[in-house]
Amino acid sequence: MARIDEITDGIYRISATVQVDGRAFQFNQFLIDDEQPALIHTGMHDMYESVRDAVAEVLDPGRLGYVILLHFEADECGGMDRFLDGAPGSTLACSALSNDLNLSGWDYRGRVEPHRDGEVIDLGRHELRFLETPHVHHWDSMMLFDETTKSLFPSDLFIQGGDQPPVVTENLGSEMCGLYREVGIFAHEEPVRRVVDRVEELDPDWVHGMHGGSLTREAFPYFVRALREEPFAYQGKLLGRPLEAPAR
């Protein structure tokens, strides 16, 4: 069962906590309640009912105007066909690369809107700006910035493991870097740190990651500092499984 909490001004976090290798881990989607309601990430295919039911606590899921995926991966877009069936008027928005590399070769039947860096979707009150953020952590990765609430949606950057509350104020930066080293999602620190510089300049009030709680503006610098100062790139482990000896 997913829980839903309003984090700030029409932005709702829908979160399910699951056990992965005996440890709690969260999958979040974000609903923006607006003239054109938007769902950011869908969750995996089999999470559809719980995410849809959580959306239905706030608005009719058939009214969704946009479903937005931030890179092509099951937790981002595994439910896209099912949300399309429930909201036939919706548009799937993604990065230009997600479309060119993936969606254009898939059998998705709905409307698709690819976006490049700097483009904006107007939902009514909220305006979502697209940031192309290649290799954080996929080639096609992007993030969103809502100008209205100064909210960053960074997908898998700024995440936390464990069963977190909807809003996180603690310094869990070192734990985040340790988790990244274990799962091996970033090939290298450099493209990530370049994006960290860029999103810091946006001066966000909120950071709504896909895994863990939403960060306040007071907590955000802890995570920025950890990403600047600590190693977090691939060190020979995939989802905790050693594949090769660590580089020296």
Sites of contact with Fe ion (CB under 5 A): 73, 75, 156, 210
Nearer to Fe ion, 63 or 237 (CB): 237
Taking the complex as a whole, how short is the minimal distance between the CB of residue 138 and Fe ion, in angstroms?
Answer: 7
Nearer to Fe ion, 81 or 156 (CB): 156
Helix locations, 18-95, DSSP H = 48-56, 74-77, 80-86
Nearer to Fe ion, 11 or 142 (CB): 142
Q: Which of 219, 15, 228, 38 is nearest to 146 (CA)?
A: 38
Nearer to Fe ion, 36 or 234 (CB): 234
Distances (CA, A) of 15 to 19, 68, 91, 163, 212: 13, 17, 23, 10, 9
Nearer to Fe ion, 36 or 54 (CB): 54
In the numeric block, the tokens 């870097």 are attached to 177
Taking the complex as a whole, how short is the minimal distance between the CB of residue 175 and Fe ion, in angstroms?
Answer: 17
Taking the complex as a whole, how short is the minimal distance between the CB of residue 210 and Fe ion, in angstroms?
Answer: 4
Taking the complex as a whole, how short is the minimal distance between the CB of residue 126 and Fe ion, in angstroms?
Answer: 22
Q: State the burial class of residue 216 (Cβ atoms within 10 Å of its Cβ: 0-12, 13-18, 19+).
A: middle
Distances (CA, A) of 233 to 78, 91, 167: 26, 34, 26
Q: How far apart are CA 130 and CA 117, in angstroms?
A: 5
Taking the complex as a whole, how short is the minimal distance between the CB of residue 72 and Fe ion, in angstroms?
Answer: 9
Q: Which of 41, 57, 80, 62 is nearest to 3 (CA)?
A: 57
